[in-house]
A and B are shown apart, each in its own frame.
Chain A
Amino acid sequence: MAVIQVNDLTYAYPQGRSVGPCSFTVEKGEFLHVTGSSGCGKSTIARCISGLIPHIYHGKMTGEVLINGRSTLSTRMWELSELAGFVFQNPSMQMLGNTVEEEIIIGLENLGLDRAEISGRLEESLGRFGLDSLRGRDPQTLSGGEQQKLALAAITSRRPPVLVLDEPLSMLDVSAATELTRYLSLLSRSGTTVIAFEHRADYLSSLPGVRVMALDSAASVKFSRRRASASCPDCKCGAKPLVISNICVNAGKTRILENMSLTVQSGSVTAIVGRNGTGKTTLLRAITGLQPFEGSVTVNGKKPDFGLVCQNADLQIFNAAVRSEILYRVNNPDMKLYARLLEILGLGRYENTPPLILSEGEKKRLALATVLIRKPEHGVLLDEPSLGQDAAHKHTLMELCAEIASTGKTVILTTHDLHLASMADRIVVLGPDGVTASGRTEDILADDSIWARAGMFVPGWITEDERKGITA
């Protein structure tokens, strides 16, 4: 029996863009993995299935979605929430409670359960997701992986027959993503219908019994590993390396970085990887001087000049159009560079568009442009540039990085996406005690002992080719 029936569904945003039409059915107990490039409407369809569209969105929906035979149009939102649970992309943005316990209780209260039943389900959920020891903690102090588990616990404790997930893995590091995938597989086996909208194909597709549905052809873009800076394969041409020596960073009483030393060659693309909380972002902030530290960070014996592209592009966007955003407070802008940036970053057609209505991926590229237009002397630092970007965009991004590096500048990026890291020239692995290893990408990827020491592992879907660094 089909639990979910989507018939000729279309959705038009008030601004004019539209998604669909699409039709599909999902059987009871099935695990459906929906893939698609960013901006192809995955999130929109996920919201239509859960009923958030049309209940709290103003856009125009046509066609119909039936859950257990009930139309989402005529069923009230709170009833729909009992039929289909929804887990969102960014776990920290969906935490409603002051404590882990409260987070789970809020959803159970709305079901109208009595106190004993709520306690029972609370304990069961905490146990199942291994959150017992965290029950009194503020959800905001948890790691990304723990938060996503909590979000899943809060929804599944309501025991909805259908679970819809919108990009549940995109914010998670390798181990957290693997763990979450395991939970989803367990849920599916226990009879819950699971629909995951996720462009990271690797984890979910490797599960047994998962049906994959592609929303568009773009999703099939394969990664091709490309040597980032072909002009200097061994990175010896870097005349001005970035030298980080013995830096220490404290936040309150906790020490985030301790006596870290690292030399990064110019003219190369370096990826810094490590589990959440190992100080990747802090290191970038220290290099730019935004983070006070002890020790020294120099290029040629002087304080370096790097541009930093933050993880969240919304932090720096406030101008009326893409053009004015890029050129804001730039003295004598290089208009040739400007035109070139628009072209490679795919922003040309948005020159006069208000930046806030761009997609997340586009905003990120815009943020990169605002930094590059300033021509930072020594290079750029990118904090988690792959978040919200699909395979094709990641690929373009790495090409751009290679191009910057080929002019002799340094590009450093942090990421928990090992696909992306495998496209860099060099990888620096941060572990609990600082730099676990640093070296050429192929050497690092090939040495499993390094990853074990950093508390990580190279997942099976990183191909042997990628490990060896063979150019596609």
Chain B
Amino acid sequence: MMKQDAYGMTGALSISESSPLRKVDPRTKLALCLAASLAVMLPLQKVAVFFVLYFMFLAWARLLPGALRQIWKLKWILAVLFVVDWLVVSPELAVVVTLRLVIVAGVFAMFFSTTTPSELCLALVWMRVPYRYAFSLGLSFQAVGHINSEWRKILEAQKARGAFSAPSGWRYPVEQVKNLVSLTVPAVVLAAKRAWSMTEAAYARGFESPNRRPYKALLMSRADWFIVSGAAFIFILILSWRLP
């Protein structure tokens, strides 16, 4: 049985309130994540150094458990790749590929697990994304919960009237396709109705007014500048480090 709320469904979007990154400006975090994902390109020794720093940072940001969970999800892929790389190519490659994948898998979690969708919207507006686009992104997050419960209701309603035959395997493709259409059509219709009433509601509150002044604003604090300059310094150091 599915749960109703969007975030409970995956257990993944739990904003870590205790993380010090929670208070950091989303732009800072975005910059950090982008830089870190580029670190994947570094050669072995540098990746290894970066890897250690990265995990120290995660531990400081109290995101280590989440990151480890993400890596645990990847365990089979990592294990298979490691063995294959070792046997086919070399142990060095096995190590470097594993490190890269572990970094890639977790790096944006730094951003996504410490930023709320509305903060993301603020950051998007700052990046010159038009307010209407940022706003509709916010709405889509809000919609996950409804759509999920609507989806369940559609399935029930169709079953209740006998329009949805119980799964009889894929032996009856025509019936199965009809089943699917009996779900997708109401889902699309309901999404459109919701979108329309949201549009009306938005216009009733002066949406697209040129006078709009945001209530919340992004603010780069001293901590933000410290993190950004620290990260930049470490990056320059790693890049300029000459391998023996």
Contact = CB atoms under 8 A, between A and B. Distances in A.
Contact of B1 (A85, A110, A111, A292): A292
A55 interface: yes
B190 A314 contact: yes
Nearest to B179: A329
Contact of B186 (A115, A252, A315): A315
A114 B204 contact: no
Given A78-B209, A155-B205, A310-B153, A288 B200 contact: no
B208 A77 contact: yes
Interface stretch (A90-98, A171-179, A416-424, A453-461): A90-98
B66 interface: no
Contacts of B242: none
Interface string B75-99: 0000000000000000000000000
B215 A115 contact: yes
A95 to B, nearest CB: 8
A316 B200 contact: no
Interface residues of B, number: 51
B232 interface: no
A93 B190 CA distance: 11
Contact of B203 (A56, A92, A113, A115): A56
Nearest to A47: B200
A110 B215 contact: no
A472 B139 CA distance: 50
B121 to A, nearest CB: 10
A115 B153 CA distance: 41
A299 interface: no
Interface in A81-120: 81-82, 85-86, 88, 90, 92-96, 98, 102, 105-115, 118
Contact of A310 (B4, B157, B208): B157
Contacts of A114: 213
Interface residues of A, number: 59
Contacts of B181: 318
Contacts of A275: none
Interface string B171-209: 000000000011001100110011001111111111111
Nearest to B208: A78
A413 to B, nearest CB: 15
Contact of A316 (B141, B157, B165, B205): B157
B193 A52 contact: no
B160 A371 contact: yes
A290 B159 contact: yes
A318 B203 CA distance: 30
B189 A317 contact: yes
B204 A85 contact: yes
Nearest to B206: A110
Contact of A113 (B145, B205, B213): B213
Contacts of A387: none
A314 B186 CA distance: 6
A290 B160 contact: yes
B181 to A, nearest CB: 7
Contacts of B201: 88, 93-96
B65 interface: no
Interface in B128-176: 138-139, 141-142, 145-146, 150, 153-154, 156-163, 165
Contacts of B199: 56
Given A109-B212, A111-B211, A374 B161 contact: yes
A18 to B, nearest CB: 20
A223 interface: no
A438 interface: no
B184 to A, nearest CB: 8
Nearest to A56: B203
Contacts of A315: 150, 153-154, 157-158, 186, 190
Contacts of B139: 96
Nearest to B158: A316
B205 A110 contact: yes
A154 interface: yes
Contacts of A356: 189
Contacts of B162: 329-330, 374
A356 B134 CA distance: 31
Contacts of B185: 317-318
Interface in B95-132: 116-118
A110 B208 CA distance: 8
B52 to A, nearest CB: 37
A158 B208 contact: no
Contacts of A292: 1
Contact of B197 (A88, A98, A252, A318): A88
Nearest to B189: A314
A111 B141 CA distance: 25
B207 A112 contact: no
B3 interface: yes
A93 B198 contact: yes
A115 B213 CA distance: 8
A328 interface: yes
B214 interface: yes
B138 A98 contact: yes
B212 A110 contact: yes
Interface in A256-306: 285, 288, 290, 292
Nearest to B205: A107
Given A81-B204, A93-B193, A158-B205, 4 more contacts: A78-B207, A290-B156, A312-B157, A318-B186
6 contacts: A78-B210, A81-B206, A81-B207, A86-B204, A90-B197, A98-B117
